[in-house]
Amino acid sequence: MFIRQLEYLVTLAREKHFARAAEACHVSQPALSSAIRTLEAELGLVIVERTRRFVGFTEDGERVLGWAKQTLASLQNMRHDASAAQVKLIGTLRIGAIPTIMPVTARMLAPCMREHPDMRFEVRSLSSDAILRQLDEYELDVGLTYLDDQVQAGFSVLPLYLERYMLLSPAHAGKNSSAPTQPWSDVSELPLGLLTSTMQNRQVINAAFRRGNVQPRVVLETDSLLSLYAHIQHAGLYSIFPHSLLSVLPVGNAVRASLLLPELTRGIGLIARNRNTLPPLVAAMWRSVEQLDLQRDFDALVPTPVQTT
């Protein structure tokens, strides 16, 4: 059994099309099909359901696919270990981050980039469920996501900070709307732009609305934080952002930020498949992120009420 056969199998699972899989593997379609048939003959199993085109994997094929992914991941870790023994880390670290963390991933990656200039990083914007699934299927190495019981069960976890929620107001907002703190109840009067209801950030905010008996007036939904920010600046909308984003978005004369009370917080952390020893690339990022105090850095950006005497 050749490693290349396993790579063909995993690529076919990803592409779900023989021709595209062959192109991705830089071989002809007959060569890819022949390699998979040879693997089936060697194992004595039918792996792929076929008609004139790719249909899917058999039940046996799904099990073989799981072992193929795990074998290729172990091989990659062996290569990383070999490079670690040479001091210089070489390889690509695959990271999944929930959308509200994407803008601040640079703060977490920068120290590792400086220490290991030959490492490469692939960062994907994914839902928290997709991150867990792709970690389980060896399609990701680490995840940056919300921490809860579902996430922490069976994963190595490094808590990073508690996300706090801010009301972002346009420049023309009245005096009350631009105060350092705002009660959730006042948000019901404002035209809001929010992330779509399928995103976990929105579900967290909706829960806060329900607890405060708030009926929000949502006039815009989008899956883009940048679009939301632009609508605050140019369309006069208001929105609710995690306080970590104040580190990358300009807030001041054009957009004002107020801490929403009572405070709503969610734990954010780094997760990886649970094992006795982290793979070298994962361990390199883990060590560099452990040195950061993101809670202190992000909390310093939250406006504080002016003390009067």
CATH superfamily to which 81-161+266-298 belongs: Periplasmic binding protein-like II (3.40.190.10)
Indicate the class that CATH gives domain 163-265: alpha beta
pLDDT tens track for 238-278: 999 999 999 998 776 678 999 999 998 899 999 998 877 78
Is it true that 81-161+266-298 and 163-265 share their CATH fold?
A: yes
Each domain of the chain, given as residue ranges in start order, spans: 3-61, 81-161+266-298, 163-265
Cα angle value 197/203/208 (rounded, 5°) = 130
Long-range contacts of 78-81 (CB under 8 A, 24+ apart): 80/279, 80/280, 80/281, 81/279, 81/280
CATH no., domain 3-61: 1.10.10.10
pLDDT tens sequence across 39-96 = 888 888 888 887 777 778 888 888 888 888 888 887 777 766 655 554 678 889 999 9
Read off the pTM: 0.70
DSSP class of 238? B
- What's the pLDDT tens digit per position in 123-172? 999 999 999 999 988 899 999 999 987 666 778 999 999 999 999 999 88
- Residue 99 binned pLDDT confidence (cut-offs 50, 70, 90): very high
Nearest CA-CA partner of 9 in 87, 45, 62: 62
Q: Which residue has the higher pLDDT, 26 or 76?
A: 26
User: How far from chain centre, in Å, is Cα 29?
Assistant: 34
